[in-house]
Amino acid sequence: MAPNNNARTDKNAGDIIETEPRSRFALTKINFILMAIAGLTILIGFLLMLGGSSTTEAFNPDIFSTRRIVVGPTIAFLGFIFMGAAIVYRPRK
């Protein structure tokens, strides 16, 4: 592997011009904040889907509640969509 040389030479003067090292990340601080919010949204969606199940002795009608089969999955799905948007978000300069 070739060494990373961030200096270049000017052919006319023979001077060495130092350049700034390029260590910019693809994601900024705001991207990580938005991804954390999306992760919490996904977690909330999964927590809304939690609940007890039916047993052999008794039927639990709560397994068909709107919260568990509509609201929870919808919030989790929106969290996944928001996660994708948080990754590709590019702040204006």
DSSP SS3 for 52: coil
Lowest mean pLDDT among 6-10, 60-64, 71-75: 6-10
Q: Which residues are within 8 A (CB) of 74 and not within 5 positions of it... i.e. 6 or more apart?
A: 45
Contact, 42 vs 86, CB < 8 A?
Answer: no
What are 20-50's pLDDT values in tens digits?
A: 665 578 889 999 999 999 999 999 999 999 9
